Amino acid sequence: MSEHPLLTVRNLVKYHHTPNGRVHAVDHIDLDLHRGETLGLVGESGCGKSTLGRTLIRLHEPDSGEIIHHGTDITHLSRAQMRPFRRNLQIVFQDPFASLNPRRTIRQILSEPFSIHGVGSRIEQPSMVELLIAKVGLHPSFADRFPHELSGGQRQRIAIARAIALEPSTVICDEPVSALDVSVQAQIINLLRRLQDDIGVSYIFISHDLSVIGYLADRIAVMYLGEIVEIAPKAQLWNTPLHPYTQALFSAIAVPEPPSVARNNRVGIKGDIPSPINPPGGCRFRTRCPVAMPICSEASPKLLEAGGGAKVACHLVNGTNTVS
Amino acid sequence: MWFANAKYVLGRVLHGIPIILAIVVVNFFLIRLAPGDAAQVLAGESGAATAEYMRQIREQFGLDQPLWLQFVNYMKNLLVFDLGFSFRHNREISELIMDRLGATALLMGTSMVLSIGFGILLGAIAAVRDRTLLSHVIMILAIVTYATPLFWVGLMLIIVFALNLGWFPTSGIATIGAPVDGFEYAIDVAHHLVLPAIALSFFYMALYTRLMRASMLETLGQDFIKTARAKGLSSSNIVFRHALRNAIIPVLTMAGVQVSAMLGGSVIIESVFGWPGLGLLAYEALFSRDLNLLLGIFFLSSILVVLTNAIVDVIYTLVDPRIRLNGGRHA
Amino acid sequence: MNASKPILDVRGLRTEFRKSRKTWFPVVNDVDFHVSAGETLAIVGESGCGKSMLAHSLLQLLPKRISRLAAGDIWLEGRNIAKLSEEQMRAVRGKDISMVFQEPMTSLNPLMKVGQQIAESIIEHEGCSHDEARRRSVALMDLVGIPEPAVRAGQYPFELSGGMRQRIVIAIALACRPKVLIADEPTTALDVTIQAQVLELIDRLKTEIGMGVILITHDLGVVAEWAQRVMVMYAGRKVEEADVETFFSGPKHPYSAALLASVPRPDAIINGGRVEPLTEITGTVPPMDQLGPGCSFADRCERSADICLAQQPQIEMLSNGARVACLRAGENA
Amino acid sequence: MLSNSAKPTLLRKILSTPTGAIGMALLTTVILLALFASVLFPEGPFEMVGAPFRPPFGEYLFGTDMLGRDIAAGIAYGARISLLVGAVATLVIVLLGTVVGGLAGYYGGWIDTAAMRVTEFFQTIPTFIGAIVIVAVLGPTLPNIIGAIAVVSWAPLARLVRAEVRSVKGREFVEACLSLGMGDMRILVVQILPNVLSTIVVAGSLMVATAILFEAGLSFLGLGDPNIMTWGFMIGAGRSAIRTAWWMVTIPGIAVLLTVLAINLIGDALNEALNPRAKR
């Protein structure tokens, strides 16, 4: 990993305002993304992982904190000032049926990045589009079709093509394979990996599926109710998950192994995910935590180094002397 | 729960206040938009305007004062429900309107109940018996009725049932010279009410039938209906206990929206049937160019819409617990 | 392997959809399977393989206007329910066979209290009093792990979380202690931690009530963890059936094998080093109304031969006990 | 923005349903009648052509009125006005509704709040009475009538467009455009509005029918332009003779009915063609 992170996030906060109250979607988050790496962002619904992804590229306006891209603070740039940075910050969405405009042809959809950023002339663009389609493993004749003529996997390839058209340094992948069948999911995962090797892009890969995240990511950040509870290199996190939530999450993965070889040490966790509108005080996981202590309801734990490149926000792991 | 309910309804009523204020403002400026001298416009183009009347109008509207002062005066008068004086009728406008309110309320209320009731019934039948002859007949009747002008329906009813068959009177609210109270009077009024109420409800019945059918078909295709079937419930149980109540919600919403249109319809129907309500009053005001009266009616009917919408909201909360408990339609 | 007599025994089931006025095409084709009490059979496949159609066919829940049960028998404890009238079928639904659906958000009536939605089923099938039904529905809510069941019974679905709603749906399904529970992707819409809770609940109740469970899913991990036997479907047909241990030790049908290999395995990478690309299955699932005479997987299969395109493979038992419909399964597997 | 290749198929789709075919046939008849009114009845609708109160299907196809005017001529010339009012009022309504609804739905925030308050106002005032007041105050001319109809009816369309724009805006392809740095106007006009168009077309077609009914109602009450022959005016005039000459009110009424029916049928067929989920 290089010394200068591609993307640095400090103290990022994003609340959604709803009629029922303020949703703590992203609550004081720190992150670094390095060149060429894949950072996995995992968590259950309401943990704010999608909001974080969208806020990072200013699809949502952050409430506070800063987002630094290549040394430039892009947190408060205007839309016009932001435009040149968008070449480097792209996103792929979950639903391949909603992420392509049904009224436009694949050619029109894939020309958009080029025309917005003035890349290539009108004469060059058609061949650039066809090249792009080939790059994601489809036949160039797809250019003149409409999205509804494509299968889910093919649409997702087009969505990926649009995101990588300008060879960005960072692509946010927001659950890009969750809506796909297993065999198609494998195709898209392989494609994303191949593109990473080809153009050296960094991914922030958002998913609720730990198997996919574990397969693709170099580092993994675990989110719970708007906060990062643990972040660590993949092997480290996999072998010695420290946070009780990470442990529970990992043990909930159902592995397709014969019962005779599958591990059977399930750490069940009780109860529902609390509402992100009114998260528990102190440690947000304490209401479901099997090892909660009195301190957990009094102070919220900080995300601290726990050795091996891991950072954890847990009183039990960090020791009670870290309370602020 | 009761409290949340009341709070919600109160909120909806308060919501109507700025709208009523806006109508006051529009009323005030509309007259001044008219070509020519406002007093002249208010007095009407006929030569009937006496110098006395013109003076009265100038005084009431304070037309020689600056605009803002005129407006303040206008507002002051409205606050005490002083809508001015109608020289054609030689009475206070507010009195005139109050006199006629009951007849319109009776007509509107009857028509609303008729159109919503039959609309829901016919629409539900058409949906449950989808793709049968019965459903086709209902839907063809609905689409034809939906295209029929109200006043024409009224006239056709008069030609057939009043003039040719003689079953119902052609106009009025009661027989002249008949007793004016008691049971006999009620029967007499009901007898007079039949044709105008049917005429007014026709179009809306068609509208609600179409809406109810679509809504019912959609509801019947939803997952919870499948759950109900998987429980082993009978189809009548599924329709009555599960589908109907869900399907009615969009119809109620539409009925709320349509109140203002229905008031317009009652102007036409009342003038066709000589039903002495607000609509006929408006028609008369139109003919005698009594614009001040017309504006008064416009103002009051707007208030009526706001109030009716509040009533619809109450019904809404009774049907849909999501509103009752969350205090909002967009929960 | 399972000695007990099956509760539900399905033979040669064929469900067809209407293509035009007179022509029909199969969405479930010649499927045999059985479930015993206390056993979970998983039916696996990708979208459009017919697994959900199969589930709906068992209860005859598909719309009659566009679908029909064209052939086959469904034996429920010695009674063939495939031949029952709609009226007779109603007595089976929710009583002998129950179903849990995928979407907890939409599968409950939004305008009815949840307790009432459970009680309804009890009243329908057991004709008990409303008070009795209410008492039993509260007990059921307690059984499926809903805290404060008496309070929750008076709430509406929108007041409950997704996991809680799915528990209500399960309570409805279990209200009359059915012999067979069909769970159609019961946890797909739920979060991982909640998914484990719900599957654990179904597993526990299966033993308590002594019912057979048909678990329909696309998630092979869920199969490995919660089922005893597995049946893989492709293009409306059963292509492989085996007990879970046998299946996950090495599926024999090329489709099952490819499906299993396409699942990402993080632990294998971490413990074994190099990241291999996942196995992909080329091409797409053929539309069910345009199937040829041969094996419907042939044109995507790495091992297909000419004969595969011409001849429909029949289910055969292999030496390891798996039943596989593949002309080449025995050869070099 | 229906693509060029979609246009003929759309027409064919409409004609392929029985409702659409009947609607199209009826509407075409009315349009032809309007176009050739001055050829068929060169003397105009106000000319007294014969004896008063002649019953229909005799010397004159639809009979004559109390002044001996040919009712058939009135029907033909009235068709012009009905179609004109329907078309122009709808055009104004659609323009106003799309602009207000589009901007409110896309930008949200205070623009949305303000726009919704305004539409709420227009939805609360009793529409027909509002139109009566406007025409009564400003004078019964054709532009005033069209304007009055448009002013009191644009709000529901604006709300519909707003709701649709909001829902399309929430789809991920719009976020994809934003993340590419596309400008607001381009997103709204090029990306979102084409997806809302089918809704606008369907609602607009029904709006034509409503506007025709509105105009007929106004002229029935005597608020029509006195220099123009309209169906509503004919019915209104026929009222006084309702006991003797039933055809004077019946025939123009049927004309309104068939025209409105035709447009509604086409609207239904359009809805099915453009909006397949409404089918089944």
User: Which chain C residue shows the shortest CA-CA distance from A234?
Assistant: C270
Beta carbons of D211 and D138 less than 8 angstroms apart: no
Q: Does D132 touch chain B (CB under 8 A)?
A: yes
Closest listed residue to residue C173, CA positions, set C131, C234, C214, C220? C214
Contact D176 A159 (CB under 8 A): yes
pLDDT class of D174 with cuts at 50, 70, 90: very high
pLDDT of residue C34: 95
List the single residue in D129, D134, D235 with the smallest CB-CB distance to B267: D129
Max CA pair span of chain B:
81
Paired strand residues for C40:
C213
Residue C111 with chain B: CB contacts under 8 Å? 245-246, 319-321
CA D109 to chain centre: 32
Q: Does A256 touch chain B (CB under 8 A)?
A: no
Q: How far apart are the CA of C189 and the nearest CA of chain A, in angstroms?
A: 10
Contact D257 B260 (CB under 8 A): no
List the single residue in C93, C156, C158 with the smallest CB-CB distance to B229: C93
Q: How far apart are the CA of D10 and the nearest CA of chain A, in angstroms?
A: 15
Q: What percent of chain C has pLDDT over 70?
A: 95
Closest listed residue to residue A39, CA positions, set A223, A193, A231? A231
Q: How far apart are the CA of C111 and the nearest CA of chain A, in angstroms?
A: 21
Q: How far apart are the CA of D264 and the nearest CA of chain A, in angstroms?
A: 26
Cβ within 8 Å of residue C18, ≥6 positions away: C24, C65, C66, C67, C68
Beta carbons of D132 and D221 less than 8 angstroms apart: yes
Determine the residue among D179, D197, D274 to mutate to test chain A binding: the one whose Cβ has the most chain A Cβ atoms within 10 Å: D179
Residue B231 with chain C: CB contacts under 8 Å? 93-94, 120-121, 124, 172, 175
Residue C62 has pLDDT above 70, yes or no: yes
Report d(CA B52, CA B7) in Å as an integer.
50
Distance separating the N- and C-terminal Cα atoms of chain A: 32
Residue B330 with chain A: CB contacts under 8 Å? 19
Beta carbons of A292 and A283 less than 8 angstroms apart: yes
Q: Where in chain A are the domains? A: 239-324
List the single residue in C65, C110, C125 with the smallest CB-CB distance to B246: C110
Q: How far apart are the CA of C184 and the nearest CA of chain B, in angstroms?
A: 12
Q: Does A81 touch chain D (CB under 8 A)?
A: no
Contact D126 B149 (CB under 8 A): no
Beta carbons of C142 and C103 less than 8 angstroms apart: no
User: Which chain C residue shows the shortest CA-CA distance from A178?
Assistant: C188
CA-based torsion, C216, C219, C224, C226: positive or negative: negative
Average pLDDT over residues A6-27: 90
Domain boundary among C157, C172, C187: C172
| Span C277-320, pLDDT tens digits | 888 888 778 888 888 888 989 888 888 888 888 888 998 888 88
Report d(CA D183, CA D189) in Å as an integer.
10
Dig out the tokens for B266 from the structure.
């009652």
Contact C172 B227 (CB under 8 A): yes
Beta-carbon pairs below 8 A across chains A and C: 129
Residues C115 and C220 in one domain: no
Residue A26, exposed/middle/buried by CB under 10 A (0-12, 13-18, 19+)? Answer: buried
Average pLDDT over residues D70-86: 90
Catalogue all structural domains in chain D, each as residue range(s) with its CATH number. 26-278 (1.10.3720.10)
pLDDT of residue C234: 93
Residues C62 and C187 in one domain: yes
pLDDT of residue C331: 65
Q: How far apart are the CA of D127 and the nearest CA of chain A, in angstroms?
A: 31
| Span A81-91, pLDDT tens digits | 999 999 999 99
Residue C193 lies in a domain: yes
| Span C131-173, pLDDT tens digits | 999 999 999 999 998 989 999 999 999 999 888 999 999 999 9
Give the strands of the sheet with C212-217, arranged side by side: C97-100, C180-184, C212-217, C40-44, C229-234, C237-243, C323-324, C316-317
pLDDT of residue B44: 58
What angle do helix axes C162-174 and C192-209 make, rounded to 10 degrees?
10
Rounded to the nearest integer, the mean pLDDT of chain A is 90
Residue C3 lies in a domain: yes
Average pLDDT over residues A114-137: 93
pLDDT class of B37 with cuts at 50, 70, 90: low
Beta carbons of A255 and C248 less than 8 angstroms apart: no
> What does A14-57 look like in DSSP terms, one character per residue?
EEEEETTEEEEEEEEEEEEE-TT-EEEEE--TTSSHHHHHHHHT
Dig out the tokens for B195 from the structure.
């044709």
Q: What is the CB neighbour count within 10 angstroms for residue A277?
A: 14
Contact A182 C262 (CB under 8 A): yes
Contact A91 D175 (CB under 8 A): yes
Question: In chain A, which among 91-150 make CB contacts under 8 A with chain C?
Answer: none
Contact B319 C111 (CB under 8 A): yes
Residue B308 has pLDDT above 90, yes or no: no
pLDDT of residue B34: 67
Residue A51 with chain D: CB contacts under 8 Å? none
| Span A184-224, pLDDT tens digits | 899 999 999 999 999 999 999 999 988 899 889 999 999 99
pLDDT of residue C266: 72
Residue B331 with chain A: CB contacts under 8 Å? 19-20
Q: Do chains C and D touch (3 or more CB pairs under 8 A)?
A: no
Report d(CA A52, CA A59) in Å as an integer.
10
**Residue A114, helix vs strand vs coil:** helix
Could you give phi then psi for residue B74, rounded to 5 degrees?
Answer: -60, -45
What type of residue is C166? Q
Residue D260 with chain B: CB contacts under 8 Å? 147-149
| Span B92-147, pLDDT tens digits | 888 888 888 999 999 999 999 999 999 999 999 999 998 899 999 999 999 999 99
Q: Does A167 touch chain D (CB under 8 A)?
A: no
Contact A91 D173 (CB under 8 A): no
Q: Cα–Cα distances in Å, from B190 out to B107, B156, B173? A: 10, 20, 8
Residues C23 and C47 in one domain: yes
Tokens 């996995």 found at: A40
Residues C13 and C136 in one domain: no
Report d(CA A26, CA A43) in Å as an integer.
12
Domain boundary among C142, C172, C202: C172
Residue C134 lies in a domain: yes
Beta-carbon pairs below 8 A across chains A and B: 5
| Span B39-59, pLDDT tens digits | 666 665 445 567 777 777 776
pLDDT of residue B36: 61
List the single residue in D171, D179, D194 with the smallest CB-CB distance to A57: D179
Residue D276 has pLDDT above 70, yes or no: no
Dig out the tokens for C34 from the structure.
């059985």
Q: Phi/psi zone of residue C273: left (φ > 0), alpha (ψ -120 to 50 degrees), beta?
A: left
Dig out the tokens for D246 from the structure.
């039933």
Report d(CA C333, CA C51) in Å as an integer.
26
Residues C152 and C257 in one domain: no
Residue D4 has pLDDT above 60, yes or no: no
Residues spanned by the domain of C120: 110-172
Average pLDDT over residues B228-233: 93
Task: Please name the chains neighbouring D, where neighbouring means 3+ C-beta pairs under 8 angstroms.
Answer: A, B
Report d(CA A221, CA A216) in Å as an integer.
13
Residues C32 and C56 in one domain: yes
Q: Does A19 touch chain B (CB under 8 A)?
A: yes
ipTM of the complex: 0.87
| Span D198-211, pLDDT tens digits | 889 989 988 999 99
pLDDT of residue A312: 94
Closest listed residue to residue A215, CA positions, set A189, A244, A179? A189
Q: Phi/psi zone of residue C280: left (φ > 0), alpha (ψ -120 to 50 degrees), beta?
A: beta
Instruction: Give me the number of domains chain C comprises.
Output: 2
Residues C168 and C189 in one domain: no
> What are the strands, taking DSSP E only, across chain A?
7-18, 21-33, 38-42, 64-69, 72-73, 89-92, 170-174, 202-207, 219-224, 227-233, 304-305, 311-312
Residues C69 and C218 in one domain: yes
Could you give phi then psi for residue C30, rounded to 5 degrees?
Answer: 55, 55
Q: Do chains B and C touch (3 or more CB pairs under 8 A)?
A: yes
pLDDT class of C243 with cuts at 50, 70, 90: very high
Average pLDDT over residues A248-263: 82
Cβ within 8 Å of residue B96, ≥6 positions away: B86, B89, B281, B293, B296
User: Which chain A residue shows the shortest CA-CA distance from B330?
Assistant: A19
Q: How far apart are the CA of B15 and the nearest CA of chain A, in angstroms?
A: 17
Could you give phi then psi for residue A9, rounded to 5 degrees?
Answer: -120, 130
Average pLDDT over residues B14-38: 77
**Residue C184, helix vs strand vs coil:** strand
Contact B227 C111 (CB under 8 A): no
Residues C71 and C197 in one domain: yes
Question: In chain B, which among 309-328 make CB contacts under 8 A with chain A?
Answer: 326, 328
Q: Does D117 touch chain B (CB under 8 A)?
A: yes
Contact B159 D250 (CB under 8 A): yes
pLDDT class of D155 with cuts at 50, 70, 90: very high
Residue A19 with chain B: CB contacts under 8 Å? 328, 330-331
Residue D1 with chain A: CB contacts under 8 Å? 103
Q: Does C193 touch chain A (CB under 8 A)?
A: yes
Residue B30 has pLDDT above 70, yes or no: yes
pLDDT of residue D273: 84
Residue A238 with chain C: CB contacts under 8 Å? 266-267, 270
Residue C297 lies in a domain: no
User: Which chain A residue shows the shortest CA-CA distance from C259?
Assistant: A183
- Model's pTM, two decimal places? 0.88
pLDDT class of C33 with cuts at 50, 70, 90: very high
pLDDT of residue B63: 66
Contact A83 D181 (CB under 8 A): yes
Average pLDDT over residues C61-65: 89
Contact D261 B301 (CB under 8 A): no
